[in-house]
Chain A
Amino acid sequence: MKTFGGPALILDRSDINTDEIIPAKYLTENSKEALKPYILEDLKLGSFDPKGEKLKNSRAIVTRANFGCGSSREHAVWVLEVNDINMVIAESFARIFRQNMFNCGMLALELPAQDIDTIINLGNDVEITVDTEQAKITATGDKAATFSFALNPFDRELILAGGWLEYADKKY
């Protein structure tokens, strides 16, 4: 199982799409590692800097609704993975992006809008810890807050197996 949690990158906007996460022109790369420098390259959001220290040190993303909409490209998940970001917490996800995350043994967790508000209001430096057994997230910034999340048994098995290929190769 991958490790989850750490310093969070807050992306306070809905509908962040796959072209913003990894532009199509980099889809000609044939290795996941080669995608690393291009993470969130086209995202325009306040003072966000795709080349900045904040992103470099982040291990989780906290964002709004419909994260990862658009293309089916799993490159949008891999570019997070190769930058050591193994989890995204959002109000909601686009279906394919969410499934790609669990298929790679990564966590895409949904929290209600007011919980996302609470995390965002904890300040600029938020640390996320995750207990997958108890299905609880703790976000620590100026203060700390704990939230319960839903993780269905199949998604949990994918996390434990390390991904869908590992799961399916044994079972089918």
Chain B
Amino acid sequence: MGKTIAQKIFKDHLRDTPSSDNVVLDLDVVMCHEITTPIAINDLVARGLDRVFDPVKIKAVIDHVTPSKDSKTATQAKILRDWAGRHKIKDFFDVGDNGVCHALFPEKGFIRPGYTVIMGDSHTCTHGAFGAFAAGVGTTDLEVGILKGVCSFRMPETLKITITGILPAGVYAKDVILYIIKQLTVNGATDKVMEFVGPLVAAMSMESRMTLCNMAIEAGGTCGICYPDRVTAEYLWPFIQHDYDSIDAAVVDFSKWHSDPDATYADEITIDVSNLAPQVTFGFKPDQVKDVMEMEGSPIDQIYMGSCTNGRIEDIREAARILKGKRIADTVRGILSPATPKIYSQAMDEGLIKIFMDAGFCVTNPTCGACLGMSTGVLAEGEVCASTTNRNFNGRMGKGGMVHLMSPLTAAAAAVAGYITDPRKYI
């Protein structure tokens, strides 16, 4: 019987089958940040188990609140920094080199097709864009991952999502995933892998695939996953050129991770994006999504561009198309947080940072920051943010604040207009 990509990865990494419903997998990458890891570190120390299973397979970054904003966050950063130092974790990223984990780690080539990846962060599903099984976990799973290099999973089923059609101008991967979440609802993919396939996905850049996979968790999905192909191989080439004779050879090798034609799925849906409009959320759940035209004129106080969903170079480029030569409305404030130093630097080289600054945006250092209401743009009670992030829960960006999720282009249009509006009239 044929296997899905997730089933192939599970078979390849199987350590144990503690029950007929559960498997324990060997891990290729265990990623750590300063919010969910320090309690794991403290607990390991208290138990006399302050060890790591493999200092090369563990990657760590300070990203959620950086540079530290107060004594508590400074302590969290210090716990992670000291631990990375004493266990000789080479791939540790601190102030100056740090960025949003799910943008930074792919950029460093850490994620490869067929890998198993965990992190104490729900948006770990982003890395499925590389044809890896990547899942967010809690601190105890992370702790066991650090110590033993294993993690348990319930055997997930796969939901096959075929995306067809050509994206209309002004419509992006973000709009596609918001529309998919609207169809599935916030728990429509719980305990399932969301396999994104079809001609549109094949034509997408790695950045767009990461945006797509990033929000799998918002439909409850364990992981989003795309087939690794030439786009994947070209992105990873600087890191894999010593492993393969050519990009062609890598593409052939990667194809072993594609699902078999006779694989079994829990469900299959097809989405045609040919007539899709830009999408915007309206409530406090990410499945509360409308066409932007239905949200025309909705008031906003702040625009936030950044995060593991949409803080990458192509996001900044698209937003800059609208912002170039314009000023944001007097009634709003704009914040751009490029997701990594490399993206920030590239945006400077391309003149994009100047476009944002001339438009009246504040440009912050790379950090998760305001996305989860930690720093650099927290909302006051009653304020509304047009945001390129991934979660619009009540109070997510600050107690009593409201978030409308949208693409970078739609956020840029909102910045210029001062309210939510159709971005297509600006392009």
Binding site for B on A (CB under 8 A): 15, 17, 19-20, 23-25, 27-32, 42, 44, 65-66, 69-74, 77, 92, 94-96, 99-100, 103-104, 152-154, 157, 163-165, 168-169, 171-172
Chain A contacts of B42 at CB under 8 A? 30
Number of residues in B with C-beta < 8 Å to the partner? 57
Q: Which of A20, A69, A172 contacts B15 (CB 8 A)?
A: A172
Check A74–B140 contact: CB distance below 8 A. yes
Q: Would A73 and B138 count as touching, CB distance under 8 A?
A: yes
Chain B contacts of A17 at CB under 8 A? 393
Does residue B87 face the partner (Cβ distance < 8 Å to A)?
no
B120–A72 contact, CB under 8 A? yes
- Listed A/B pairs (18) with beta-carbon separation below 8 Å: A23-B395, A24-B373, A24-B396, A25-B374, A28-B65, A28-B70, A28-B76, A30-B75, A32-B39, A65-B187, A71-B122, A71-B372, A71-B391, A72-B121, A72-B124, A99-B138, A99-B152, A154-B21
A10, B288: Cα distance in complex, Å? 25
Give bound CA distance, A73 to B374, whole Å.
14
Q: Are A103 and B140 in contact (CB under 8 A)?
A: yes
The 9 closest A-B pairs by CB, nearest first: A74-B138, A100-B138, A103-B140, A154-B19, A28-B72, A66-B187, A74-B139, A72-B136, A72-B122
A162 to chain B, nearest CB (A): 11
Q: B393 to nearest A CB, angstroms?
A: 4
Contact across chains for B21 and A152 when beta carbons are under 8 A apart? yes
List chain A residues, Cβ under 8 A from B90: none
Contacts A29-B72, A30-B75 given; does A100 touch B140 at CB 8 Å: yes
Contacts of A164 in B (CB 8 A): 140-141, 144, 152
Say whether B136 contacts A154, CB under 8 Å: no
Kindly list 19 other residue pairs between chains A and B, CB separation below 8 angstroms, not including A15-B186, A20-B394.
Answer: A15-B285, A19-B391, A19-B394, A19-B396, A20-B395, A24-B373, A27-B36, A65-B187, A72-B122, A74-B139, A99-B141, A99-B152, A99-B154, A103-B138, A103-B141, A152-B20, A154-B18, A164-B140, A168-B144
- Complexed CA–CA distance, A42 and B70 (Å): 23
Contact A24/B372 with A103-B138, A168-B150 known, Cβ cut-off 8 Å: yes
Contact of B220 among A19, A27, A94, A157 (CB under 8 A): A94
How many residue pairs between the two chains, A and B, have CB atoms under 8 Å in the bound complex?
144
Please indicate which of the listed interface residues B18, B21, B65, B222 has the most CB atoms of chain A within 10 Å of its own CB.
Answer: B18
Which residues of B are found within 8 Å of A96, using beta-carbon distances? 122, 136-138
Taking the closest CB of chain A, its distance from the CB of B125, in whole angstroms, is 10
The docked-state distance in angstroms from the alpha carbon of A23 to that of B396 is: 8
Residues of chain A within 8 A (CB-CB) of B19 are 152-154
Return A51 CB to nearest CB of chain B, in Å. 15
B148 at the interface (CB under 8 A from A): yes
B22 within 8 A of A: yes
Within B121-144, which residues are at the interface with A (CB < 8 Å)? 121-122, 124, 136-141, 143-144
Which chain B residues lie closer than 8 Å to A30 at the CB level?
38-39, 42, 72, 75-76, 79
- Residues of chain B lying within 8 A (CB to CB) of residue A92: 187, 190
Q: List chain A residues, Cβ under 8 A from B49.
A: 169
The residues of A that contact B15 with a CB separation of less than 8 Å are 172
Most buried by A among B39, B43, B65, B73: B39
Which B residues touch A165, using CB under 8 A?
43, 47, 140, 143-144, 147
- Shortest Cβ distance from B188 into A: residue: A66
A23 near B399: Cβ-Cβ < 8 Å = yes
Partner of B36 from A72, A99, A163 at Cβ < 8 Å: A72
From B18, B47, B137, A99 is in contact (CB under 8 Å) with: B137
B162, chain A: closest CB distance, angstroms: 24
| CA gap between A31 and B16 in the complex, in Å | 32
Chain B: minimal CB distance from A129 (Å): 26
Partner of A66, one of B22, B70, B190: B190
List A contacts of B72 (CB < 8 A).
Answer: 28-30
A104 touches B140 (CB 8 A): yes
- The docked-state distance in angstroms from the alpha carbon of A157 to that of B152 is 13
Residues of B within 8 A of A42 (CB): 394-395, 399
Distance from B233 Cβ to chain A, minimum over Cβ atoms (Å): 30
Instruction: Give the distance in Å from the alpha carbon of A100 to the alpha carbon of B15 in the complex.
Output: 20
Most A C-beta atoms less than 10 A away, residue of B65, B144, B148 = B144
Contact B22 A154 (CB under 8 A): yes
What residues of chain B lie closer than 8 Å to A28, measured between beta carbons?
Answer: 35, 65, 70, 72-73, 76, 374
Q: A72-B138, A95-B222 are in contact. Are A154 and B36 (CB under 8 A)?
A: no
Q: Quick one: given A66-B186, A154-B152, are A72 and B137 in contact (CB under 8 Å)? A: yes
